[in-house]
Structure 1
Amino acid sequence: MTDSKRNLVLVSVDSLRADHCGFINPDSGLTPTIDRLADEGISYTQAIAPGPRTPSSVPVMFTGEFMSDDENWTMANWQGRQQRIGEHMTRFQHLSERLQRRGYETVAFTANPWTTRESNFDYGFDDFTEISADSPDIDSSKLSDSTLFTLADSGFEALPGDIFGWSSKKEWFSQWTGYFDIIQEKLADLSEPFFVWVFILDSHQPYITPRRHREESAAWEMYYSILRYWHGQSSDEELSDRAEELIGQAYRDAVRSVDGFVDALTEAVSGYDPVTVFHSDHGEALGEHGNFGHEQTLYEENLRVPLFVHNAGSAERVSEQVSLQSLPELFAALASGREFDPQAHTQPFVVSKTENNQVLSIRTPRWKFVTAEEDTQLYDLGSDPKESTDASTTHPEVASSLADLADRHRTTQTEKERVETAANELTAGGTPL
Structure 2
Amino acid sequence: MIIKRFVILLIAFLGLLSCKSEASKKIEEPERPNLLFIFADQYRKASLGFLNEDPVHTPNIDKLAKEGVFFNRAVSNHPLCSPYRAMLMTGKYPLSNGVVENCNSANTPYGNFLSKEEVCFSDVLVSSGYSAGYVGKWHLDGPPATPPGTKRVWDTWCPPENRHGFSFWYAYGTHNRHNTPYYWDTNGSAKDTIFVNQWSSEHEADVIMKYIDNAKTQRENDKPFALFWSINPPHTPFGQVPEKYSKRYKGMDYKTLLNRPNVEFTDNYSWKKGDKGVAARLDQAPEYFACVDGVDDQIGRVIEHLKEEGLYENTIIVFSADHGEMLGSHGLMHKNVWFREAMDIPLIVHYPKSIIAKTDDLLLSVPDYMPTILGLLGLGDKIPDDVEGKNYSDVFFDKPVERPTKQLYFGTKPSNPDKGARGFRNYNYTFSVFKDDNGDKFYYLFNDREDPYQLKNCWGENPALDQKMEEELAALLKSMNDPW
Where on the TM-score scale, by shorter chain, does this alignment land: which range? 0.7 to 0.9
SS at match of 2:303: helix
**The one of 439, 448, 452 aligned to 1:385:** 452
> CA separation of 1:15/1:70 partners in 2, compared to 1, >3 Å: closer, same or farther?
closer
Give the alignment partner of residue 44 of structure 1, picking from 71, 90, 104: 71
Residues 266/83 of structure 1: CA separation in 2 closer, same or farther (3 Å cut): farther
Separation in structure 2 between the aligned mates of residue 405 and residue 92 of structure 1, nearest angstrom: 30
- Higher radius of gyration, 1 or 2: 2
Unaligned segments of structure 2, at least 5 residues: 1-25, 142-156, 176-180, 186-191, 255-267, 270-275, 381-392, 436-440
1:62-87 deviation per Cα after TM superposition (whole angstroms, max 9, x unaligned): 2121122999x988x82143565765
| The one of 399, 406, 411 aligned to 1:349 | 406
Distance apart, 1:104 and its partner CA: 0.8
Q: Residue 395 in 1 paired to residue 420 in 2?
A: no
**Partner in structure 2 of residue 185 of structure 1:** 210
Paired AA for residue 193 in structure 1: P
Q: Partner of 1:202 in structure 2?
A: 233
Aligned match of 1:427: none
Shift of 1:320: 3.2
From 364, 381, 387, the equivalent of 1:322 is: 364
CA RMSD in angstroms comes to: 3.5
Helix, strand or coil at the partner of 2:443:
strand
What pairs with 1:244-393 in structure 2 (closer than 5 Å)? 244=282, 246-270=283-307, 271-272=310-311, 273-294=314-335, 296-311=336-351, 312-336=354-378, 341-342=395-396, 344=401, 347-356=404-413, 358-373=420-435, 374-393=441-460
Partner-residue secondary structure (3-state), 2:481: helix
From 126, 143, 146, the equivalent of 1:100 is 126
Task: Tell me how many residue pairs correspond in the alignment.
Answer: 370
The one-letter code of the counterpart of 2:305 is: A
Q: Aligned in 2, Cα 1:259/1:337: closer, same or farther, shift over 3 Å?
A: same
Amino acid of the structure 2 residue aligned with 1:285: M
Of the candidates 12, 28, 31, which is equivalent to residue 39 of structure 2?
A: 12
> Alpha-carbon deviation of 1:278?
0.7
> Deviation of residue 341 (structure 1)?
2.6
Per-residue deviation, 1:401 = 2.3
Aligned partners of 1:121, 1:399: CA distance in 2, in Å?
45
TM-score by length of 1: 0.75
State the Cα deviation string for residues 381-413 of structure 1 (Å, max 9, x = none): 112222232222223333322322222232222
Cross-structure match for 1:170: none
Question: Counterpart of 1:25?
Answer: 52
Kindly indicate whether residue 86 of structure 2 is the aligned counterpart of residue 59 of structure 1. yes
Q: Give me the whole-angstrom Cα distance separating, in 1, the residues matched to 2:444 and 2:62.
A: 34
Q: CA-to-partner distance for each residue in 1:76-120, whole Å, 9 max, x for gaps?
A: x82143565765444532111111121111111122544672798
| Identical columns (%) | 18
Unaligned runs of 5+ in 1: 146-173, 223-231, 418-433
Native 8 Å contact 2:136 2:204 kept in 1: no
Give the corresponding residue for 1:156.
none
**Partners of 1:403 and 1:41 in 2: how far apart?**
37
Structure 2 CA distance for aligned equivalents of residues 119 and 69 of structure 1: 24
1:13-53 CA distances to partner (integer Å, 9 max, x unpaired)? 10011011023336644211101111111111111112111
For the residues of structure 1 that align with 2:183 and 2:243, how far apart are their CA atoms? 26
Q: Deviations over 1:325-363 (max 9, x none)?
A: 211111111210798533758522001212435211210
In 2, Cα distance between equivalents of 1:361 and 1:121: 32
d(CA) in 2 for partners of 1:382 and 1:121? Answer: 44
Tell me which of 243, 246, 254 is aligned to 1:211: 243
Contact 1:31/1:259 (<8 A) preserved: yes
Contact 2:205-2:299 at 8 Å conserved across structures? no
Change (3 A) 1:117 1:86: farther
Greater helix proportion: 1
CA distance in 2, matches of 1:36, 1:320: 21
Look up the equivalent residue of 1:309 and give its one-letter code. V
Instruction: Tell me, yes or no, if the aligned pair for 1:277 and 1:307 is still in contact at 8 Å.
Output: yes
Instruction: Name the amino acid aligned to 1:386.
Output: Y
